[in-house]
Structures are given as C-alpha cells and as structure tokens.
Amino acid sequence: MTISTVNFTEASTLEARICIVGAGAAGITLASELDGEGFSVLLLEAGGLKADDDLADYYRGTATGPHSNPTEFRRATFGGTTGIWGGRCVPFDPVDLKAREYVSNSGWPILYQELAGYYPEAMRYCDAGEFDFSLGGSLRSPMPTIAGFDGKGAAGTEVVMADRIERYSLPTDFGRRYRRKIEGSQNVRTLLGARCLRLFKGSGGEGIEAAEVVDRAGRKCRVRADVFVLATGGIEVPRLLMLSDPEGAGLGNAGDCLGRYYMCHFENTAGRVVPHGAKVAFDFERTTDGVYCRRQLRFTPDTLEQHRLLNMAFRLHFPSYSDATHGSAVMSTIYLAKSTLIPEYRAILEASAEAPASPTGAHVRNVLMGVPQLACFAADYVFRIQLAQRKLPYTLVPNADGTYPLEFNSEQTPERSNRVTLSGDVDRHGLRRVHIDWRLRESDADSAYRGYLLLRETLGRSGACRLEFDEARLRDRIRRSAPLGGHHMGTARMGTSERTGVVDSNCAVFGVPNLYIASSALFPTSGHANPTLTIVAMALRLAAHLRAQYPGR
C-alpha cells in the first residue's frame, strides 16, 4: 500500500482489521510481520519521515531528581528513536525472567524459552548477526578480556565471572531500513502525522471500538478496528491508557499497576582497572559474522543469586572527556565541541566525568600537540563511521597512563513509587502531560557497591590486574547515578493477573481483550540489557499470537 502524510476531512472514519499505534522498532517489526496476511493493517505514526523538532512538544513534561527531560531519547518520526540509538544489542538472561526472592516484584509470567525463541529473528531485524554472545562462539581469537584472568572464585574451581560480548547494530534506523518493505505491502497502510489522542470502548464496555486520531492541521478522525496495538514507548503507553479512561484510573488499571514500577537502567563510571603487564582486549572487535562487538565482564547467574546481586555488567572504559590528563587530542576535541552534540549525547558526556573539568587551555594544548592523531581520527571517522554501512559505534581511546576506568550498568528493582502520572498541564491537543517520579533505591545502589567489592576481590585473586577505588567515594558516586534516558520500562507490566500487572502473558490488556501492548512498558524487570533487542523479540512474539488469533488467509 502506501506511506502517506495524513490529511483528514471532517468526520472521516478509517477502518482496519488491526491498528498499530506507533512506528518505532516495535510497530515497524509488527507491521512487517503482518505484511502479506489476508487482512488490513493500519500503522499510525505521529511524526513524519524526518524528525521535526517542533514535535518534541508532544513529549514535554516534568521529572524529579536526576531523570532526564522527558523530551530526550524520544522521537516522533517514522522509525522512532532508532534514528538516534547507538545500536547496542544485548539479550535478557534467564535469571532476568525468574522470580527472585531478593528482588521484589520480580518474575515474568512467561518462560525464558518463550522469549529466547524469537531472539535470532530479532537479531536479523536489528542487523546484529548471530544470536551468540559468547567469546568462543563469536570471536576468532577468544582470548580473555584481561590475559590471565579466569574469573574463578576463592575456592579456585567455581567461576564467579564470565567474559561476554555485546553486539552492535549498523545502527539500524528501522524507518529507513524497512520503509520500502512497508511501502510495498499489499495490506499494510501507514499514515504519517497521525497522532492517537485516545481510545474508546464499545457499547459493551469490554473491547476498544475506535481510536481518535488528529492530523498536523488539528483535524480529527476515528479509526475503527478489531484489534488495537500500542507500540509506543514506556512513557507514552501509560499516558494513552490513562487518557482513554473516562473514569480517570486508566485502562487495564484494576490492580493499580498502570504507570507504576517505572524502571531505567542506572549506569556510571567509577574506579579503574590497573593491569599487571597483562594484555587487555579494550577496543571494538569484529565477530566471525562481521559485527562490531565489545567485551563485558559479567557475574554468573549462580554468583548473582549467591550474593543477592542485581544483574549488572562491567566494561573497561575510556577516560573522562573532560579530564585533559588523558592526553588525547581526539577526546579533547570532542569535549571542546560538545555543544554541537545532540542533547542526549551531551548529557551522557557530562555525566561521565568523575572529577571537575580541566581548564580549556589544557584541552587546547592536547589538540595542538596531537594534530597527527587528529588526522588519523578524521580519516577513521570518514571511512569507518560516516561512509560505512556498518559503522564503528564510537571512538575508544585508551588512557595515557595504561589504566582503564570501569563502567557499570545495572538493572533496577521494580518499585511501585517510581511512576509516570499525568500532570495538570496540557499540550497543543489538550492532552495532559506526564510527570515522572524516579529515584534510585538505596538497596540497588548497595547491590552495585557490593558488585564492585566482589569484582575487586575476583580480579585481584588472578594476579593479572587490580581494581582500585575509594570505597567511601564509590558509594556516593553510585547513589548519584542517573537513569539511562532512553530505557523506559515497566509502566504497563506483564502479570499473571490484573492484581500484578496491566497486560497478560500474551500482551493483552486485562479487561480489554482486543487491546495489546508492544513496548518496553510491559517488561516486569529490566535486566541490565539495552531494551531494543527484547522489544523487537516481544513484537515478533506478539505477531505470532495475532496471526494465530486472527487468521487472515
């Protein structure tokens, strides 16, 4: 069919068998999987083919604490936020779906095998290669991340830590990558500039009968469908469900879970690894199937449970851009040019600094003394980032003193008090804006702190290196970790009943059987993994369910 910018006439009505709201990674995957079925699919996208700064107003709101501005890491455009993502692809682990006694509100109502079966195809959609994240299965020379470090514990037999990899997408902009497929579909029609304002229940009160949609000129239209799927993000999903309930509680909110259990990963850089002459695998590598990857240091599932730790990953990091003692002309140039970065990446750059920024003169001196290094970087940037189809994810520059700052990324306990609610302010279409309450639980910070202590002990036992940090300062730095801005999860969680969640194991909203969610909003827990790969895997799983429930041929 077509991808067209909508221009409604007054009192117009559209009809489809399935209506998908949101054309990001989930919505485009779902529409692609329903391509060729014998029924009509309508894909609605509030933005156009290109990002429009004016549409950031759709996402304006307020947030408490260190949470980023609600407009950041959200894009109203065909392809959604995949137009700016870094491409990191990591699957959830089996432990992430388990109900863990020491992690309150944990546990998914599906088995890990039900999710893992869709990961290989999700990897294909993300252009991230094979579903293999082991060193032995992915790299030609799978030496340990730190030569001589075997990850063994005090007994010398059990493995406490394991080397794993994270794979990187092209990064794939789903809007560009799958535009031709959607345009060429015989049964999928896409409307751009079509913002969904609210959903309406039918006269029977059980299912959704229609959606109200508005175009860029403010004209409204009703969309009628047998099935509706919300494929927007972890903030927009609860917002739309709240706005669609005349009684104010929100659709699917019989158990008061809607908007609650909001999670983001928390990440920071603290301490440094000092090798004792050991060879270190620090830079990006290529897998045997040609995908860029980086190393992770990870605790084994048994270790996580034994020490009652949240799932977390550690990476050897580059020094802070703001600290000119790194001696790098490239990093100093990036720091001096930080005002040219998009707000999301500028915030990450500023948050990574452990110490006050060096004087500007020190950075200028690095640049002047490192002109040859800059020239090599410029060539690298042009050929490996700008012109390459599979781009080098980002620049890794080792510290001048041979040490490696340590970056950690951790899951967050799903907490009822962390939530998305509606404020009294309204946007241009009269929709109430969101307010985000997010705080880091003390026990979560303590988990990361104890993870550092265990990692220091395990690294030190090997003799290959040591981990240095100030324990008093470490606690405080972890407490001040900011949430990763684009990882919005948990606000319409999957549960065994309406008392424990908003959607059931098939992603259908409790009490509204023809309304489904395809979003990280339904994740009951977050793991440490970036959500995009699992969002795509869950969209594939939902597509299989819809094909079985609503056969078209």
Interior CA angle at 387 toward 336 and 142, to 5°?
A: 90
State mean pLDDT over 62-89.
91
Task: Give the position of tokens 């969309």.
Answer: 223
Which pTM does this prediction carry? 0.94
Predicted confidence at residue 361, as pLDDT, reads: 86
State mean pLDDT over 333-349.
70
**What does the alpha-carbon distance between residue 32 and residue 26 come to, in Å, rounded to a whole number?**
10
Which residue has better confidence, 233 or 352?
233
Mean pLDDT of the chain: 91
Name the nearest CA neighbour of 114 among 533, 537, 504, 497. 537
What ranges in 195-270 are assigned the alpha helix state H? 236-243
Predicted confidence at residue 551, as pLDDT, reads: 76
Interior CA angle at 3 toward 76 and 385, to 5°?
A: 60
Task: Give the position of tokens 């940037």.
Answer: 381
Residue 43 falls in which region: left (phi positive, over 0), alpha (psi -120 to 50) or beta: beta
* Tokens describing residue 534: 């699992």
Give the pLDDT band of residue 524 (cuts 50, 70, 90). Answer: very high
Assess whether pLDDT exceeds 70 at residue 157: no
- Let me know: does 126 contact 120? Beta carbons within 8 Å: no
Strand 61-63 with 432-437, pairing:
parallel
Interhelix angle for 25-34 vs 532-549, to 10°? 30
* Tokens describing residue 311: 């799932």
Which residue has better confidence, 286 or 348?
286
- Let me know: does 538 contact 118? Beta carbons within 8 Å: yes
Assess whether pLDDT exceeds 60 at residue 553: no
Summarised one tens digit per residue, pLDDT across range 294-309 is 999 999 999 999 999 9
* Tokens describing residue 548: 């079985």
| % residues pLDDT > 90 (the chain) | 71
Predicted confidence at residue 346, as pLDDT, reads: 66
Predicted confidence at residue 271, as pLDDT, reads: 94
Predicted confidence at residue 365, as pLDDT, reads: 86
Predicted confidence at residue 502, as pLDDT, reads: 98
**What does the alpha-carbon distance between residue 553 and residue 548 come to, in Å, rounded to a whole number?**
11
Summarised one tens digit per residue, pLDDT across range 430-456 is 999 999 999 999 999 999 999 999 999
What ranges in 143-293 are assigned the alpha helix state H? 174-177, 179-183, 236-243
Q: What is the dihedral of CA 540, 521, 451, 408, to 10 degrees?
A: 80
**What does the alpha-carbon distance between residue 387 and residue 369 come to, in Å, rounded to a whole number?**
28
Strand 482-483 with 465-468, pairing:
unpaired
Give the pLDDT band of residue 497 (cuts 50, 70, 90). Answer: very high
Give the pLDDT band of residue 332 (cuts 50, 70, 90). Answer: confident
Assess whether pLDDT exceeds 80 at residue 356: no
Give the pLDDT band of residue 5 (cuts 50, 70, 90). Answer: confident
Assess whether pLDDT exceeds 60 at residue 9: yes
Q: φ, ψ for residue 176 (rounded to 5)?
A: -75, -40
Q: Which of 341-355, 383-397, 460-474 has the lowest mean pLDDT?
A: 341-355
- Sequence-distant (6+) residues with CB within 8 A of 387 are none
Name the nearest CA neighbour of 401 among 317, 326, 460. 326
Give the pLDDT band of residue 377 (cuts 50, 70, 90). Answer: confident
Predicted confidence at residue 348, as pLDDT, reads: 63
With H, G, I as helix, E, B as strand and everything else as coil, classify residue 405: strand
Q: Which of 10-19, 132-141, 496-505 has the lowest mean pLDDT?
A: 10-19
* Tokens describing residue 27: 């919505």
